[in-house]
Amino acid sequence: MALQQVSAFCILWDDVALKFVGFKRLDGAITMFGGLDGIDELPPGDVVTGSEVVPVVHDGITAQQTILAISMAWMTNIDAVQQARNLVLAGLADEPLDVSDPGLLALLNLKADKVNPVLVGATLAQSPPADAAGNEVTTAAFVRSRISEAIALANSPVNTVLPAVSVSGGGAIDVGTVLNGTNGTWTGQATITFAYQWFRNGVAISGATAIDHTVVADDQGKLLTLRVRGSNGVASDVPAFSAGTQVPAAAVLSLVTQPTMSGTPAVGQTLTVGNGTYNLTPTAYSRQWYRGTTLIAGATGTTYVVVTADQGQRLIAKVTASIGTQSLTSDSAFADIPAAAPPPPPPAPPPSPIQSQHVKCLLSPNLPFASAIGTWGLETDGQTPGVNSLNDTTGYRRSDLGGTYGTLRFGKVTDPADGAKKAFILRVGRNDGLTSGTPRCELSIYHTYSNGTPYAGRIETNLMMWYFFRVRRIMASFSEKLILMQLHQLGGIPANPWHSVELGGSNIQAHLRWNANPVTGNNNGSTASTPSSLPLDTWVTIVGKFKHTQNTANGPFFQWWQDGVSRLGPRNDIVGYNNAAYPPWMKVGLYPWGFDTNNVWPTSMPFKEVMYGAMGAIVDTGNIYTEAQVRAYAESS
């Protein structure tokens, strides 16, 4: 068994030189410095260790025998040692020392009786207690404890080859790699047992107390060390540490190929997202589907069924790959879901049953002014220009009224309900010039009478006829009545018009007057429809059917509809008046009734405006048309 020098201590007496006794442990034998002969004298004050003397080898001498030999030598030369200065005990042997040995106790007790002994020994850490004067006093108990410590140290296991760590199976170290530890090589008496503890950067790893260790994520980038503690049950445990094993830092998870998206991008079809590939091997994946940038609640699987809400949107899935403490989220390839097919256009209206030869007049914003049927005139701001020759782009303009349309009095603008179509705008200002009555913007129809003679604005007498127009209220309300359409006669007629359509506030109302005595024109009667709403910013179609005659035998007739609902009539009164020289005429437009030069037009409303669609009249001598057919013709023109 290998031996080593462990410790030495000296006890000082007077300043008298002393030949000393001592021993120490050497490899393979016990070397003893015994007796008082042949040993160099030491000068006063020196501290002697075993390395300072030449040893004499004695085979087969035990530690107990050595201690006893020292004790005996001490007691044999008791007179001499009273003058001694130093006593050095250097090292201890393998076997436990019986400190109750009578000879050793006698030695210890003897020294305890000496005056002012001071411990000056080498490796024993604890100093003797001090007396009242502050001097160190070596007592028997103190010396006995020091010797026990030295014996324990001498008997502890000795590590001669450090523990080692290797990689199980070889190769690189990564999470999951098993590191195999060894005990190293040890010497010492009795059976040596071992305890293990692994360290990460010098800090003990909780629970890592086996000889082997499996690398975990927390070990990455750290230095691992194995501590082996040897114990023989006799003396103190002795630790030995392996060299450090460096665990490489974790590789950073990165994407190699983007997660794929497969499937048919259509409502009701299933899309599937792949995981993608990575530089490492992820241990888990999660997914979240998105519609554009909006998270789709609950859509966290590898598949997704396309729904109606996805139409016209881009679908992607965010795939999160995880390994250890690392995770990486990547966008998958995308799938563009086609927008919903537009609803089929409404079926084209059947060809109008209205025969062209029956259309007596037609003015449509969707036809060139030059293509108007009949000759149309305009009355506004004291002017009476012809309509058929107007420029389709500029219309008719006068002084600036303000608002959206500025100087435009009558012309074509974009239909607010259908950007592909046009509408007429008619506007009148409070300071407009007059031809008679009140400021206005009205359209009059001039068409060919049945005998071929042209008359201004005549509607044929004794014939069944339809009239129609479309109107759209674009101002919030009117405080006074506005005439939107009228039928009347020229000449000295007691009451004109005999039929009118009026806008009052936000309601529309039809009026009818008749002549109970066609000869004299007296005894006139009148009636009106119940006011009905003319909604704001909404197209309304007005249709009227009448037969103008002065004779009841000719079957006079009148009926009036708003959007297909009959509001007035049918009536068989004689409409119009008995004056054959002045057949009736039709006017459509904007006529603020009653506001002439003597009335006050509120300054808060400098102008009024309204929109019209197609307008015209149809002859129906055979009663072959219906209101619905005439209304459809108006709405399609």
3-state secondary structure 518-564: CCCCCCEEEEECCCEECCECCEEEEEEEEECCCCHHHCCEEEEEECC
Dihedral sign computed on CA atoms, order 543, 548, 551, 553: negative
Contact 25, 100 (CB under 8 A): no
Work out the average pLDDT over 336-365.
87
Q: Which of 152-166, 321-335, 445-459 has the lowest mean pLDDT?
A: 445-459
For residue 343, pLDDT over 60 is answered with yes
Q: Which of 223-237, 339-353, 411-425, 449-463 has the lowest mean pLDDT?
A: 449-463
Domains belonging to the chain, first-starting first, are 8-155 (no CATH), 158-246 (2.60.40), 255-336 (2.60.40.2700), 357-636 (2.60.120.200)
Neighbours of 551 (CB within 10 A): 11
CA distance 329 to 259: 10
Q: Which of 132-136, 310-314, 380-384, 605-609 has the lowest mean pLDDT?
A: 132-136
Angle, CA 116 vertex, CA 113 and CA 122 arms, to 5°: 100
Contact 11, 74 (CB under 8 A): no
User: What is the model's pLDDT at position 578?
Assistant: 52
For residue 324, pLDDT over 90 is answered with no
Region of 255 on the Ramachandran plot (φ > 0 left; ψ -120 to 50 alpha; else beta) = beta
User: What is the model's pLDDT at position 33?
Assistant: 33
CA distance 435 to 130: 140
CA distance 156 to 147: 14
User: What is the model's pLDDT at position 100?
Assistant: 44
> When comparing pLDDT for 182 and 6, which is higher?
182
Backbone torsions φ then ψ of 2, nearest 5 degrees: -65, 145
- 180-211 residue pLDDT tens: 999 999 987 678 899 999 999 999 999 999 99
pLDDT band at 23 (very low <50, low <70, confident <90, very high): very low
- Burial readout 472-504 (b: 16 or more C-beta within 10 A, e: otherwise): bbeeeebebbbbbbbbbbbeebeebbbbbbbbb
For residue 265, pLDDT over 50 is answered with yes
Reading the block at residue 472, the tokens are: 């759209």
- 547-568 residue pLDDT tens: 887 777 788 899 999 999 999 9
> When comparing pLDDT for 140 and 273, which is higher?
273
> Which amino acid is located at 532 in the chain?
S
Work out the average pLDDT over 218-222.
92
For residue 366, pLDDT over 60 is answered with yes
User: What is the model's pLDDT at position 137?
Assistant: 52
Residue written as token pair 């002969």: 37
- Burial readout 264-298 (b: 16 or more C-beta within 10 A, e: otherwise): ebeeeeebebbbbebebebeebebbbbbeeeebee
Work out the average pLDDT over 561-581.
81
Region of 323 on the Ramachandran plot (φ > 0 left; ψ -120 to 50 alpha; else beta) = beta
What is the percent of the chain with per-residue pLDDT over 70, rounded to a whole number?
65
Residues near 430 by beta carbon (within 8 Å), at least 6 away in sequence: 439, 595, 601, 602, 603, 605, 606, 607
Closest CA to 468 of 306, 239, 632: 632
Q: How large is the C-alpha radius of gyration of the chain? A: 63
User: What is the model's pLDDT at position 57?
Assistant: 26
pLDDT band at 250 (very low <50, low <70, confident <90, very high): confident
pLDDT band at 444 (very low <50, low <70, confident <90, very high): confident
Residue written as token pair 């000496």: 114
Residues near 237 by beta carbon (within 8 Å), at least 6 away in sequence: 156, 195, 229, 230, 231
CA distance 467 to 361: 9
Closest CA to 451 of 441, 462, 442: 462
- 50-59 residue pLDDT tens: 332 222 222 3
- 33-49 residue pLDDT tens: 333 333 333 333 333 33
CA distance 243 to 199: 11
For residue 374, pLDDT over 90 is answered with no
What is the percent of the chain with per-residue pLDDT over 90, rounded to a whole number?
41
Mean pLDDT over the full length of the chain: 74
User: What is the model's pLDDT at position 24?
Assistant: 31
pLDDT band at 62 (very low <50, low <70, confident <90, very high): very low
Closest CA to 208 of 178, 244, 232: 178
User: What is the model's pLDDT at position 539?
Assistant: 97
User: What is the model's pLDDT at position 36?
Assistant: 30
User: What is the model's pLDDT at position 145?
Assistant: 55
User: How do beta strands 193-200 and 203-204 pair?
Assistant: antiparallel
User: What is the model's pLDDT at position 524?
Assistant: 67
Backbone torsions φ then ψ of 149, nearest 5 degrees: -65, -45
